[in-house]
């Protein structure tokens, strides 16, 4: 069986997705809920979970691009609300889109260079003021000029605000500290210019609240663990079964599985991410779409980035690795914050998607964390094994398979010889 539809693998532009007719799971209900207020919002989600695409859809809404929302939830909701409020539908606002995905942040001037480049694009439209000497002053000035020239408040959308911090964390702590201070001053403008801002939305992998990035921006509403926004990124079980029936059948045929067996396998491989207490499990969209496109199961998300510094943190902390699979317990405050020290790698393991909520202990307000699914479980352990034992990176799968073959053949001597060799390569401290 062959059934080809355009799957949006790696597509981050909502306009491109809609104009080129890629398959889209309608998430515009969440946009509608968000835009009813003028709060500045923050959303933390793992990489490749659809944050950039969602932010792009927000930009399209505030630019008044009605045609992109045809037959989606937001189209009807916006037009009905405009009638009730006796206002024109699809109003256009000045949109400041700050994208930190591009560039390498490995020098003292890298972050400031990127900020200046982003601001220069807005200043080309709304003008400059020679008295504005530093970046925060320029940011505040261009926001005010946009408001004065258009008569509309500004929309600020920040994609992957923490990319410069993640690239320098555990690599260059002095530069990481410099970046934190620069970003703190820059983002404080969102609060000081509140009267000129219609809406602000920041996304990232982590929330560095313990190290003061958002200390000045204390009116920020963090929706990362709110029940009503748990499904804002990712794919639910219902969305999977409703929208991907043809792709599931093709995958089933290719793997010589029944349809229901394929659903079970997809759940084991890619489901299990939980972003709220007692929340619904979410599928990793990047891995799911790749599995459909390639017609086979694989570690697609995990292979796009290895958490090297996290592996080193775990090794340095002498953590009992099996406990990662369901025995990590954190308080509510620990879960939502992050400090870059080896003794506390678990909040960022959660925020970056390597661990997820397995249970919420309501009476104690504690969260029990574990691996979300088999892709992360085996991918993470495959990266951990070379760090602990004398097995070259990339040889883990082969080494494990040799153990499996010994067990299947009843080769006790071969199994024990391999085990002794493996253990001999583990340092005494571990």
Question: What is the model's pLDDT at position 347?
Answer: 83
Residue with tokens 């060799």: 421
Domain co-membership, 144 together with 266: no
Domain co-membership, 65 together with 198: yes
Closest by CA to 233, choosing from 182, 269, 280, is 280
Share of the chain above pLDDT 70, in %: 89
Q: Is residue 219 scored above 90 in pLDDT?
A: no
Domain boundary residue among 229, 264, 291? 229
Domain co-membership, 361 together with 408: no
CB neighbour burial string for 32-58, b if at least 16 within 10 angstroms, e if fewer: bebbeeeebbbbbbbbbbbbbbbbbbb
Domain boundary residue among 205, 229, 253? 229
Residue 83: CATH number of its domain: 3.40.50
Both tokens of residue 181? Answer: 């201070």
Domain boundary residue among 303, 331, 352? 303
Question: What is the model's pLDDT at position 210?
Answer: 45
Q: Is 159 helix (H, G, I), strand (E, B) or coil?
A: strand
Domain co-membership, 276 together with 288: yes
The answer to the question of residue 41 being in a domain is: yes
Q: What is the pLDDT of residues 56-112, one digit of tens each?
A: 999 999 999 999 999 999 999 999 999 999 999 999 999 999 999 887 898 999 999
Domain co-membership, 58 together with 199: yes
Domain co-membership, 330 together with 417: no
Rg (CA), the chain: 24
Question: Which is higher by pLDDT, 372 or 173?
Answer: 372
Residues β-bridged to residue 157 = 97, 201
How far, rounded to the nearest angstrom, does the alpha carbon of residue 68 sit from its chain's CA centroid? Answer: 24
How many domains is the chain partitioned into structurally? Answer: 4
Rounded distance between C-alpha atoms, residue 63 and residue 58, angstroms: 9
Rounded distance between C-alpha atoms, residue 39 and residue 135, angstroms: 24
Query: What is the domain range of residue 259?
Result: 237-303
Under the banding of pLDDT at 50, 70 and 90, the label for residue 321 is: confident
Is residue 205 within 8 Å of residue 48, measured between CB atoms?
A: no
Question: What is the model's pLDDT at position 306?
Answer: 59
Q: What is the pLDDT of residues 307-316, one digit of tens each?
A: 566 676 677 7
Question: What is the model's pLDDT at position 393?
Answer: 63
The answer to the question of residue 379 being in a domain is: no
Closest by CA to 190, choosing from 158, 159, 164, is 158
The answer to the question of residue 5 being in a domain is: no
The answer to the question of residue 295 being in a domain is: yes
Domain co-membership, 203 together with 294: no
Q: Is residue 141 scored above 70 in pLDDT?
A: yes
Sorted by sequence, the CB contacts under 8 Å of residue 414 that are 6+ apart come out as 406
Domain co-membership, 131 together with 197: yes
Residue 366, judged by CB atoms within 10 A of its CB (0-12, 13-18, 19+), counts as middle
The answer to the question of residue 263 being in a domain is: yes
Domain co-membership, 49 together with 188: yes
The answer to the question of residue 384 being in a domain is: no
Domain co-membership, 44 together with 135: yes
Domain co-membership, 113 together with 202: yes
Both tokens of residue 248? Answer: 């599931």
The answer to the question of residue 37 being in a domain is: yes
Tell me whether strands 40-44 and 197-204 are parallel, antiparallel or unpaired: parallel
The answer to the question of residue 211 being in a domain is: yes
Q: Is residue 383 scored above 80 in pLDDT?
A: no
Q: How many CB atoms lie within 10 A of CB 168?
A: 22
Q: What is the average per-residue pLDDT within 196-223?
A: 79
Domain co-membership, 22 together with 151: yes
Q: What is the pLDDT of residues 342-366, one digit of tens each?
A: 457 788 888 889 899 999 998 888 9
- Threshold 0.95, pTM exceeds: no
């Amino acid at each position: 069986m062959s059934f080809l539809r355009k799957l949006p693998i790696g597509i981050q532009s909502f306009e491109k997705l809609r104009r080129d007719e890629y398959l889209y799971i309608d998430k515009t209900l969440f946009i509608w809920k968000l835009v009813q207020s003028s709060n500045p919002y923050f959303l933390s989600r793992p990489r490749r979970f659809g944050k950039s695409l969602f932010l792009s859809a927000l930009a399209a809404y505030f630019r008044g691009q009605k045609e992109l929302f045809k037959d989606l939830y937001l189209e009807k909701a916006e037009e009905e609300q405009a009638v009730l409020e006796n206002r024109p539908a699809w109003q256009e606002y000045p949109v400041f889109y700050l994208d930190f995905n591009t560039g390498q942040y490995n020098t003292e001037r890298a972050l400031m260079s990127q900020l200046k480049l982003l601001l220069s694009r807005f200043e080309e439209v709304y003008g400059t003021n020679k008295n504005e000497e530093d970046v925060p002053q320029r940011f505040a000035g261009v926001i005010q000029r946009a408001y004065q020239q258009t008569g509309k408040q500004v929309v600020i959308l920040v994609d992957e605000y923490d990319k410069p911090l993640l690239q320098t964390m555990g690599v260059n702590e002095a530069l990481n500290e410099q970046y934190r201070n620069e970003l703190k001053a820059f983002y404080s403008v969102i609060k000081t210019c509140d009267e000129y801002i219609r809406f602000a939305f920041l996304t990232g992998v982590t929330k560095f609240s313990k190290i003061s990035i958002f200390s000045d921006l204390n009116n920020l509403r963090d929706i990362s663990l709110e029940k009503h926004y748990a499904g804002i990124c990712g794919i639910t079980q219902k969305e999977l079964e409703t929208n991907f029936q043809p792709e599931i059948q093709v995958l089933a045929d290719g793997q010589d599985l029944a349809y229901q067996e394929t659903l079970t396998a997809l759940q084991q491989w890619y489901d299990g991410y939980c972003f709220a207490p007692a929340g619904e499990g979410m599928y990793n969209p990047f891995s799911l779409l790749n599995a459909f496109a390639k017609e086979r199961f694989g570690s697609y998300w995990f292979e796009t980035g290895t958490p090297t510094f996290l592996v080193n943190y775990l090794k340095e902390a002498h953590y009992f690795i099996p406990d990662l699979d369901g025995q990590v317990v954190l308080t509510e405050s620990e879960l939502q914050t992050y400090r870059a020290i080896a003794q506390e790698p678990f909040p960022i393991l959660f925020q970056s998607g390597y661990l997820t909520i397995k249970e919420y202990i309501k009476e104690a307000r504690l969260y029990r964390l574990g691996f979300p699914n088999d892709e992360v479980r085996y991918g993470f352990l495959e990266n951990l094994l070379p760090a602990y034992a004398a097995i070259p990176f990339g040889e883990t799968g082969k080494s494990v398979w040799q153990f499996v073959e010994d067990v299947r053949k009843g080769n006790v001597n071969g199994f024990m010889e391999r085990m002794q060799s493996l253990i001999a390569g583990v340092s005494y401290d571990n």
